[in-house]
């Protein structure tokens, strides 16, 4: 094989060829020096041409090993990690991580920033004054030993190659690719060193997989890549046709996660967190059925242990835990602008994609690499599928700092809603649960 170069990789993939492991190894070890235009050309070629399972497995493995693999053997008990493939209003991690920890299972969470029109947990936690998601590995492990929950982003130490690919995909229209999503998600889950891996594969307008069949393809790929790399992965395919909960943004999503941990959250968000958590507790072997796990988690919300754990978690990462009682200490918008219903009727459609785009347009997403975010802006949805509305009533409020960005966001949110005369029901929250058995990596 000739010595790889970025140009040869781009041309191979453009022409539908398959990369050898050595070529991908060269790319991952040199990616920090690859010019943006060449990296985005290669990513686009992958989006258009795809990758074989062998290539996807190699890329995942190499990205995971671009930094350290966390050794959690000195952290007692099984450790769990969860990841979503990306959604709108998806603040599940902010609820699930402390919730599961409060029920006695350790959560070692490696998270990402916003991607495309979807939000990212690392950006959201930065709305909490002082919260540091870039903690060193030793602090991460110490925190797991002391309070059973820690959250970190990719750093120079953990899956750094994913950090570079991810930031470029976000701004080059190269997110929607099964091999790139699988490698990105799984490389972080392997680097986190967790024993129990639960992946929330989103399906619908606000997801990168627009229907259940493509969500299953993504789940199948991630389970098979996990199996080949010796990791057992459970995938839950869940609804992202309409946004999760009412809040889409950063500060407002953290506030909604807090309400959920206090037992006052939206029904869909609460239900999803409890169902995913039940599967994690089952995977960790602390309960005999997912239903028993769910009951334990509902109890942790009801008796206050879940919100207590959230306070501990925030404080351990340098954040101001007064945020629980005073969410207004997070960045707040100057204006709350209603988007009004144009007709009487029932909400029959609420598309997550334009809502995510509205949030991004208001300043809640990046239009270029490294762009600063406005953590105060976003969308508060007042009406969801099935709700009755009257003409002129607020469907949603836009949280705005820059009025110049308002018109596009109003149009986007207006277009997200479909109102008709007949009551509609929300689609099922959980579409399917898939699990594969791990085999040793050498097999
Ligand atoms: N989350 C990730 O970490 N990567 C993706 O590509 C999509 C969602």
Per-residue pLDDT of 370-401, as tens digits, reads: 899 999 999 999 999 999 999 999 999 999 99
Crossing angle (nearest 10°) for helices 352-359 and 406-416: 170
**Closest approach atom of ligand 1 to CA 181:** 6
Choice among 67-81, 201-215, 423-437 with the minimum mean pLDDT: 423-437
The pick from 46, 60, 115, 201 for probing ligand 1's pocket by mutation, whose C-beta has the most ligand atoms within 8 angstroms, reads 115
Outline which parts of the chain fall under CATH 1.20.970.10.
6-50
181 lines ligand 1 (CB under 6 A): yes
Q: What is the pLDDT of residues 145-203, one digit of tens each?
A: 999 999 999 778 999 999 999 999 999 999 999 999 999 999 999 999 999 999 999 99
The catalytic site residues sit at 83, 162, 169, 184, 188
Q: What is the pLDDT of residues 46-78, one digit of tens each?
A: 999 999 999 999 999 999 999 999 999 999 999
Q: Which two tokens stand for residue 61?
A: 């493995």
How far is C-alpha 101 from the geometric centre of its chain's CA atoms? 19
Spelled out in words, what is the top-level CATH class assigned to the domain 6-50? Answer: mainly alpha
Q: Which two tokens stand for residue 410?
A: 């109003």
Outline which parts of the chain fall under CATH 3.90.1170.30.
333-420
Which residue, by CA, sits nearest to atom 8 of ligand 1? Answer: 85
Categorize the per-residue pLDDT at 437 as very low, low, confident or very high, splitting at 50, 70 and 90: low
Choice among 85-89, 156-160, 244-248, 261-265 with the minimum mean pLDDT: 156-160
154 lines ligand 1 (CB under 6 A): no
365 vs 338: CA distance, rounded Å = 21
Q: Give me the percent of the chain exceeding a pLDDT of 90.
A: 95
Is residue 310 pLDDT above 90, yes or no? yes
Is residue 436 pLDDT above 90, yes or no? no
* Across 352-368, average pLDDT: 97
Q: What is the 3-state secondary structure (H, E, C) of the chain?
A: CCCCCHHHHHHHHHCCCCCCHHHHHHHHHHHHHCCHHHHHHHHHHHHHHCCCHHHHHHHHHHHHCCCCCCCCCCCCCCEEEEEECCCCCCCHHHHHHHHHHHCCCEEEEEECCCECCECCHHHHHCCCCCCCCCCCHHHHHHHHHHHCEEEEECCCCCCHHHHHHHHHHHCCCCCCCHHHHHHHHHHHHHHCCCCEEEEEEEECCCCCECCHHHHHHHHHHHHHHHHHCCCCEEEEEEECCCCCCCEEECHHHHHHHHHHHCCCCCHHHHHHHHHHHHHHHHHCCCCCCHHHHHHHHHHHHHCCHHHHHHHHHHHHCCCCHHHHCCHHHCCCCCEEEEEECCCCEEEEEECHHHHHHHHHHHHHCCCCCCCCCCCCCEEEECCCCCCEECCCCEEEEEEECCHHHHHHHHHHHHHHEEEECCCCCCCCCEEEEEECCCCCCCC
| CATH architecture type of domain 79-326+430-441 | 3-Layer(aba) Sandwich (3.40)
- In CATH terms, the fold of domain 333-420 is Aldehyde Oxidoreductase; domain 3 (3.90.1170)
Outline which parts of the chain fall under CATH 3.40.1030.10.
79-326+430-441
Confidence (pLDDT) at 154: 79
Is residue 441 pLDDT above 60, yes or no? no
85 lines ligand 1 (CB under 6 A): yes
Whether the pTM exceeds 0.75: the reply is: yes
* Across 26-46, average pLDDT: 98
The pick from 185, 202, 214, 238 for probing ligand 1's pocket by mutation, whose C-beta has the most ligand atoms within 8 angstroms, reads 185
Confidence (pLDDT) at 155: 79
Q: What is the mean pLDDT of the chain?
A: 96
Whole-angstrom CA distances from 2 to 22, 26, 35 are: 10, 12, 21
**Closest approach atom of ligand 1 to CA 85:** 8
Categorize the per-residue pLDDT at 443 as very low, low, confident or very high, splitting at 50, 70 and 90: very low
Categorize the per-residue pLDDT at 442 as very low, low, confident or very high, splitting at 50, 70 and 90: very low
């Amino acid at each position: 094989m000739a010595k790889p170069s970025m140009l040869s990789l781009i041309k191979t993939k453009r022409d539908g060829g398959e990369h050898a492991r050595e070529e991908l190894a060269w790319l991952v070890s040199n990616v920090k020096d690859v010019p943006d235009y060449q990296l985005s050309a290669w990513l686009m070629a992958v989006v258009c041409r795809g990758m074989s399972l062998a290539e996807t497995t190699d890329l995942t493995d190499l990205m995971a090993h671009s930094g350290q693999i966390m050794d959690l053997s000195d952290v007692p008990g099984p450790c769990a990690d969860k990841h979503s493939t990306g959604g709108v209003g998806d603040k599940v991690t902010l609820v699930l991580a402390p919730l599961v920890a409060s029920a006695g299972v350790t959560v070692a969470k490696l998270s990402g920033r916003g991607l495309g029109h979807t939000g990212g947990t690392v950006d959201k936690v930065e709305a909490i004054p002082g919260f540091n998601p870039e903690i060193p590995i030793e602090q991460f492990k110490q925190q797991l030993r002391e309070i059973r929950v820690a959250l970190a982003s990719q750093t120079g130490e953990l899956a750094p190659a994913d950090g570079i690919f991810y930031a470029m995909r976000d701004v080059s229209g190269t997110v929607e690719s099964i091999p790139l999503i699988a490698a990105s998600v799984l490389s972080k889950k392997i680097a986190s060193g967790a024993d129990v891996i639960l992946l929330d594969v989103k399906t619908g307008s606000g997801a990168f997989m627009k229907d259940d069949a493509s969500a299953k393809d993504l789940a199948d790929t991630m389970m098979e890549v996990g199996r080949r790399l010796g990791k057992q992965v459970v995938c839950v395919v869940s609804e992202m046709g309409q946004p999760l909960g009412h809040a889409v943004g950063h500060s407002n999503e953290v506030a909604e996660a807090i309400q959920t941990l206090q037992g006052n959250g939206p029904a869909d968000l609460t239900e999803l967190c409890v169902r995913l958590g039940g599967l994690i507790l089952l995977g960790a072997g602390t309960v005999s059925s997912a239903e028993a796990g769910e009951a334990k988690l509902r109890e942790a919300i009801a008796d206050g242990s879940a919100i207590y754990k959230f306070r501990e978690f925030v404080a351990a990462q340098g954040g101001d835990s007064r945020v629980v009682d005073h969410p207004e200490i997070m960045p707040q918008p100057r204006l709350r602008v209603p988007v009004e219903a144009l007709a009487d009727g029932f909400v029959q459609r609420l598309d997550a994609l334009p809502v995510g785009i509205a949030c991004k347009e208001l300043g809640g997403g990046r239009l270029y690499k490294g762009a600063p975010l406005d953590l105060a802006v976003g969308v508060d949805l007042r009406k969801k599928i099935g709700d009755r509305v009257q003409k002129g009533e607020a469907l949603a409020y836009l949280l705005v700092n820059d009025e110049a960005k308002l018109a596009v966001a109003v149009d986007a949110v207006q277009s997200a809603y479909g109102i008709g005369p007949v009551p509609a029901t929300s689609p099922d929250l959980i579409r399917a649960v898939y699990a594969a058995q791990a085999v040793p990596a050498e097999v």
